[in-house]
Structure 1
Amino acid sequence: MQPRKEAFALPYATPSKTAPLSGPESNSSMANANPGISTGLPRPSSYNSVHSNVLGDGLYTQEKVKHLEEYLQLQVKEGSYDFEANKSLLKLYLLYPPLANNENVETILLKALLNLPATDFTLLLYILPEKLQTDENVLTIKDAAEALETARYADFWSILNSRAAVFLAIPEWKDDIRKIILTVHAATYKAVDKAHVSDGVGLSGDELDSFLTANTPGLVAKVEVDRVIFAPNKENQPWVRKYKEKVDLQNMLGILNRLAA
């Protein structure tokens, strides 16, 4: 089947390769929902408590660093996400450089990538502590992010495979990224060659079939020998533009009468 052109955009991606994927559950103010497809991350269980007691008055004090670091680890454990809290932790690292923790910074960046297409990752790069701007692991994550956001999936998986240790902070991070990539495909195609999907998600053979059947509810309708059929959604279905008449009948009759006079 001839695929229609991909015409979506993740942050700083080329328009022909990517798609807006963020769903209504995303807790980033920068996220734009793509109706019918959701990849939003849930809020942490202690979200209300942290926002009331930690992110309130006196936020930028050293004592808040420990609370926000513990909150970050809760997000890792739960698979949840809080952009505002993580942004505040990075700001505290800026204010108190000796307290900056490289591993936490890397975890924050990896978490932000799971909230694509919200621009969280790009925004966080601007407030990284100076000493981390050229950190090797941070640069690796930046390279991977750019490859992901511009749909250069072969490059993305090459980076991950060559620097695997950098991406181990979050359990099942790779599979979560695969779901994001697959969502781009689902928004672009009704059906596509399995080889194309394989290149995108970095899996093949039985591993690919297992991932497609077990981890993609609502995205994949059927996996065949040589192609993948996606479930219908608002992006991959034909649509008809409806035109509304701007000149009503009475006005048209008046025009015709004047022309006939």
Structure 2
Amino acid sequence: MANRGMNHSLQSLKTDIAKINQSGIDKYNPHNSRLMEEYVDAQAMENDYDLEANLLLLKLYQLNPVGYAGPRASFVTKILLKALMQLPKNDFQICKALMEPELMRVIKIQDVMRLATILETCRFEFFWEELPKCRDTLSGVEGFDAAIQNYICSVVERSNQSIYERQLNAYLGKLPSDRFRRLVEERGWKFAGNGVIFIRDQTSNVKPRKIVETIDFADVATILSAAARS
């Protein structure tokens, strides 16, 4: 962690962590934790992501339990938030499975779990209502809102041909009009008028399928023989 007297660049951290991951059994050396914790902080601050490294840190925590896991909570919180930003991938569930049970009592981690449940059940408007209560938990994690908005857009895209502008913007956290318009245009969606946004034409995604049926010669011979006898 940077405030422990370490100050590596993101790129140098990537190089060092790659060496640790390739070091065989030595990658589970608990002395690696400090460098990997700094890497978690760097990912959060610079909007980068390395699932493999984060899983290794969680595994190190598992293999080297402490009496009180509180000091680890900040790093686990950031790992979970970074994983949540990858939705609809299942990174969050993978990281959650490696988390020390004691950490479930930490308020910030409870915040993340609550936000994850809301997102996974697609209660998007409620998510933005709850988010201000968790802003302290999100401190130091860059790009969180944008990543969640991207996830919400992907859900809308898969489930709608069109949607009302007001409804979509409520799903996205009620963005200012210029940001909302820019996001719609970046997704390739169209403002259709009358407050409606055209997402896609379902029929354009239907691909014709050529079905070829094959009949063995032996089957044909059997049919012809039966026909001749009748």
Give how far 1:222 is off. Answer: 1.9
- Given the superposition, is the C-alpha separation of residues 208 and 201 from structure 1 closer, same or farther in structure 2, using an over 3 Å criterion? farther
In 1, the alpha carbon distance for the partners of 2:78 and 2:61 equals 14
- Given the superposition, is the C-alpha separation of residues 52 and 137 from structure 1 closer, same or farther in structure 2, using an over 3 Å criterion? same
Q: Which residue of 1 aligns with 2:34?
A: 66
- Match of 2:105, SS state, is coil
Which one of 227, 247, 252 corresponds to residue 196 of structure 2?
A: 227
Give how far 1:251 is off. Answer: 6.1
In 1, the alpha carbon distance for the partners of 2:192 and 2:132 equals 28
In 2, the alpha carbon distance for the partners of 1:260 and 1:138 equals 75
Q: Which residue of 2 aligns with 1:176?
A: 147
In 2, the alpha carbon distance for the partners of 1:146 and 1:108 equals 16
- Match of 1:223, SS state, is strand
Q: Which residue of 2 aligns with 1:157?
A: 128
Give how far 1:79 is off. Answer: 2.0
Between Structure 1 and Structure 2, how many residues are aligned?
Answer: 213
Pair 1:80-2:51 in alignment:
no
Give how far 1:64 is off. Answer: 0.7
Higher relative contact order (CA 8 A, sep 6+): 1
- Over the residues paired in the alignment, what is the CA RMSD in angstroms? 2.9
TM-score normalised per structure 2? 0.77
8 Å CA contact 2:20–2:27 kept in 1: the answer is no
8 Å CA contact 2:88–2:151 kept in 1: the answer is no
Identity of aligned residues (%): 23
- Given the superposition, is the C-alpha separation of residues 49 and 230 from structure 1 closer, same or farther in structure 2, using an over 3 Å criterion? farther
In 2, the alpha carbon distance for the partners of 1:193 and 1:214 equals 15
Give how far 1:101 is off. Answer: 2.5
- Given the superposition, is the C-alpha separation of residues 155 and 229 from structure 1 closer, same or farther in structure 2, using an over 3 Å criterion? same
- Given the superposition, is the C-alpha separation of residues 221 and 154 from structure 1 closer, same or farther in structure 2, using an over 3 Å criterion? closer
In 2, the alpha carbon distance for the partners of 1:77 and 1:176 equals 14
Q: Which residue of 2 aligns with 1:239?
A: 207
In 1, the alpha carbon distance for the partners of 2:14 and 2:218 equals 58
The aligned runs of 1:190-205 (5 Å cut-off) are 190-204=161-175
TM-score normalised per structure 1? 0.69
- Match of 2:189, SS state, is strand
- Match of 1:59, SS state, is helix
8 Å CA contact 2:80–2:92 kept in 1: the answer is yes
Q: Which runs of 5+ in 1 are unaligned?
A: 1-43
Q: Which runs of 5+ in 2 are unaligned?
A: 1-9
Pair 1:50-2:12 in alignment:
no
Pair 1:213-2:182 in alignment:
yes
Give how far 1:224 is off. Answer: 4.3
* Larger helix share, 1 or 2: 2
Provide, for residues 7-56 of structure 1, a one-character-per-residue CA deviation record: whole Å limited to 9, x for no partner: xxxxxxxxxxxxxxxxxxxxxxxxxxxxxxxxxxxxx7454541223562
